[in-house]
Amino acid sequence: MNRYYLYKIITFFLYLLAQVLVFNKMVLFGTAHSFVYVAFLLTLPFELAVIPGMFIGLALGLGIDAFTNTFGLHAAASVLLMYVRPMLISGLAPQGGYQPGAVPRPGSMGFGWFMPYALMLIFMHHLVVFFIEFGGFALFWGTLLKVVASTGYSFLLIVIIQYIFFARGRK
């Protein structure tokens, strides 16, 4: 169990560094941003309770914010994501509930389960990020385009990373 926590802490920092040093710079056409760090929150175990989950989201979000000088922006979106996540998980539960040992990764639950799960949460997260960052609803469609393009882009990168590094649905 301790090894598991250590492993999670290391991946936490890997996602944080990868996001601020690599993915933040990979912006397509000035429109599609990739917030791949969300994958860390998406793939936390099913059993994680909502309140500790929100604090993990807060910590990761504040970490990103510290590097990009967007205080509270990613933190707010990540906390909301971690609040909604358990509801979505129970909403998407297969008949008979989740198998013991299953994790919310495409390698474990299958792509058909992972796609709606990830897309909904990523979309909500990006919606919050871009509209707070923009500071209002002027240029609504422009911002929405950014949200939709970024959701697709982030999702694509997250799925690729999942299949490369976590192909066997490892915890």
Partner 1 sequence: MKSLLLFLYRFRAFITLILLETACAVLIIQNSHYHRALFFNSSNNAIASVLVVANNITNYFRLRQINESLAGENLRLKNRLHNLARLPDSLKYDSLRNFNFIKARVISNSADLRNNLLTIDIGRSQGVKKDMAVIGGGGIVGKTRYISDNFTVVTSILHTESMVPALIKGKVNICILQWDGTNPYYVDLLYVPRHYVLEVGDTVLTSGYSGIFPPNLLVGRIAAINLSEDAPFFDIKVKLANDFYQLDYVEVAENMQLPEIDSLKNLAE
Q: Give residues in contact with partner 1 (CB under 8 A).
A: 17, 20-21, 24, 27, 30-31, 33, 50-51, 54-55, 58, 61, 65-73, 75-76, 79-80, 83, 132-135, 139, 142
What's the token pair of residue 38? 């969300």
Residue 28's DSSP bridge partners are 32
Helical pair 111-134 and 140-165, crossing angle rounded to 10 deg? 140
Minimum Å gap between C-beta 99 and partner 1 is: 25
Q: For residues 11 and 24, which CB has a smaller minimum distance to partner 1 in the complex?
A: 24
Minimum Å gap between C-beta 171 and partner 1 is: 24
Minimum Å gap between C-beta 1 and partner 1 is: 24
Report the C-alpha gap between 162 and 164 in whole angstroms: 6
Q: For residues 61 and 106, which CB has a smaller minimum distance to partner 1 in the complex?
A: 61
Q: For residues 84 and 159, which CB has a smaller minimum distance to partner 1 in the complex?
A: 84
DSSP string, 74-117: HHHHHHHHHHHHHHHHHHTPPTT-PPTT--SSHHHH-HHHHHHH
